[in-house]
């Protein structure tokens, strides 16, 4: 059988023209608040559900007149640290990470939704070896489960275990681990199960015949997965550059959605995956308009508060208005209106979805643009 092992080294590979290992503002030749931006360094993660994993077949950043360079990290925390220090202007990571950053007062805005999941389009999944005695989520009690780490999307999903199972997250032995390392760790018996994000789940399935115990959507049916976060002073000092960046991301999302075969080829090259593995990998749903789904944002926030990942914010409504709603109105909404607002049936489903941690009806959390999307 052909080996599909995804090493850490392979997962961190990307095209030389797009990779930079320089993080200092001095090396970038600009500060985060510079008025003229010659180059935008984007922090990202080597996983499938990020827009920047699809640069290659097309490059809408270049078409928008932007020079974008990528720096890849294993998780969102160092991206936020570099952005806070002013060494990165833009970061692409999970919606969960952006909420954590906002609640901690980091100088970020998150006016964009890249990818999301619904019951008909699950992404992450919990997997075990074929001979494992683990058959259901309840069987994870006392077992070692590899996950991406505290504050990540899988971490939040595990907080929903009491809603549909007999166990709690605290009853599982959670093992933080980079996504590319999970398949081998599972096969070697270092952990009993993995909560894997593509492409690690497909590697585990094809290389080791791992089987799926549950999809993440069995825990949280509807969830915003990814966002593009910008330093606030960069966006305010360079509004046109910020809009061009978000315009490019919308164009990427629509291209991925409409050209899956070509998108998979570009993703495989950027992540160092064999094409036959990339063909089988799960691709998340792309938000065709890039507009945040506020009920999902609020739901993730409520989940994090309940599982004590974050402390309750004294005014979450103001927090999300200042960090997500108003920046979306200022930067994302004008861009998508210029491109043309498009119907997005799965976003409609998401806006009407089940959010068990929300204390109020889902429509109580809508932003103005969400009512427009529901009328399309």
Tell me which H or E stretch contains 250. helix 239-258
Look at residue 52 in the predicted model and tell me its pLDDT. 95
Tell me which H or E stretch contains 254. helix 239-258
Tens-digit pLDDT string for the chain (376 aa) = 233 333 333 333 322 222 332 333 333 334 444 444 578 999 999 889 999 999 998 999 999 999 999 999 988 899 999 999 999 999 999 999 999 999 999 999 999 999 999 999 999 999 999 999 999 999 999 999 999 888 788 888 999 999 899 999 999 999 999 988 999 999 999 999 999 998 899 999 999 999 999 999 999 999 999 999 999 999 999 999 999 999 999 999 999 999 999 999 999 999 998 988 899 999 999 999 999 999 999 999 999 998 888 999 999 999 999 999 999 999 999 999 999 999 999 999 999 999 999 999 999 999 999 999 999 8
264 in Cβ contact with 276 (< 8 Å): no
Q: State pLDDT tens for residues 225-242.
A: 999 999 999 999 999 999
Neighbours of 169 (CB within 10 A): 18
Which tokens is 314 given? 């004294």
The alpha carbon dihedral of 102, 245, 199, 354 has a sign of positive
Phi, psi for 195 (deg, rounded to 5): -105, 90
Look at residue 309 in the predicted model and tell me its pLDDT. 86
- By the 10 Å C-beta count (0-12 exposed, 13-18 middle, 19+ buried), 372 is classed as middle
Which tokens is 63 given? 């078409």
Q: Which residues make Cβ contacts (< 8 Å) with residue 364, sequence separation at least 6?
A: none
Look at residue 75 in the predicted model and tell me its pLDDT. 82
The CB-side HSE value for 271 (13 A sphere, CA atoms) comes to 33
Peptide bond between residue 239 and the one before it cis (omega within 30 degrees of 0): no
The alpha carbon dihedral of 72, 75, 81, 84 has a sign of positive
Using CA atoms, how far apart are residues 202 and 34, in angstroms rounded to an integer?
42
Look at residue 308 in the predicted model and tell me its pLDDT. 85
Using CA atoms, how far apart are residues 99 and 231, in angstroms rounded to an integer?
14
Burial 293-327 (b: 16+ CB within 10 A, else e): bbbbbbbbbbbbbebebbeebeebeebbeebbbeb
Domains of the chain, start order: 8-118+223-375 (3.40.190.10), 125-218 (3.40.190.10)
Which DSSP letter does residue 196 get? E
Please give, one letter per residue, the 3-state secondary structure of 326-354: HHHHHHHHHHHHHHCCCCCHHHHHHHCCC
Which tokens is 155 given? 């971490």
């Amino acid at each position: 059988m052909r080996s599909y092992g995804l090493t850490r080294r392979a997962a961190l590979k990307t095209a030389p023209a797009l990779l930079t290992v320089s993080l200092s503002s001095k090396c970038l030749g600009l500060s985060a608040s510079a008025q003229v931006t010659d180059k935008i360094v984007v922090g990202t993660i080597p996983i499938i559900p990020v827009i920047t994993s699809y640069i290659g077949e097309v490059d809408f950043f270049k078409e928008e007149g932007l020079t974008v360079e990528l720096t890849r990290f294993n998780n969102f925390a160092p991206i936020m640290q570099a952005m806070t220090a002013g060494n990165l202007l833009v970061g692409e990571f999970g919606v969960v990470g952006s909420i954590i950053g906002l609640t901690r007062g980091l100088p970020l805005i998150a006016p964009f939704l890249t990818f999301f999941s619904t019951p008909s389009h699950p992404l992450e999944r919990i997997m075990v070896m074929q001979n494992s005695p683990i058959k259901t989520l309840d069987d994870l009690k006392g077992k070692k489960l590899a996950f991406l780490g505290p504050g990540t999307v899988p971490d939040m999903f595990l907080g929903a275990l009491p809603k549909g199972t007999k166990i709690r997250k605290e009853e599982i032995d959670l093992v933080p681990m980079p996504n590319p390392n999970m398949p081998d760790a599972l096969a070697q018996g270092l952990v009993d199960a993995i909560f894997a994000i593509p492409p690690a789940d497909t590697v585990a399935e094809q290389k080791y015949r791992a089987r799926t115990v549950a999809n993440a959507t069995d825990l949280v049916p509807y969830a915003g997965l990814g966002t593009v976060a910008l330093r606030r002073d960069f966006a305010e000092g360079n509004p046109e550059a910020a809009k061009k960046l978000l315009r490019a991301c919308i164009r990427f999302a629509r291209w991925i959605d409409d050209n899956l075969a070509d998108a998979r080829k570009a993703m495989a090259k950027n992540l160092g995956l064999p094409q036959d593995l990339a063909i089988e990998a799960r691709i998340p749903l792309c938000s065709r308009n890039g507009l945040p789904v506020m009920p999902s944002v609020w739901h993730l926030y409520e989940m994090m508060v309940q599982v004590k990942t974050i402390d309750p914010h004294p005014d979450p409504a103001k927090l999300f208005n200042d960090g997500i709603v108003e920046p979306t109105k200022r930067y994302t909404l004008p861009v998508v209106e210029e491109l043309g607002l498009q119907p997005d049936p799965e976003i409609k489903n998401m806006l009407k979805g089940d959010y068990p941690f929300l204390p109020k009806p889902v429509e109580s959390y809508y932003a103005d643009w969400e009512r427009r999307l529901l009328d399309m």
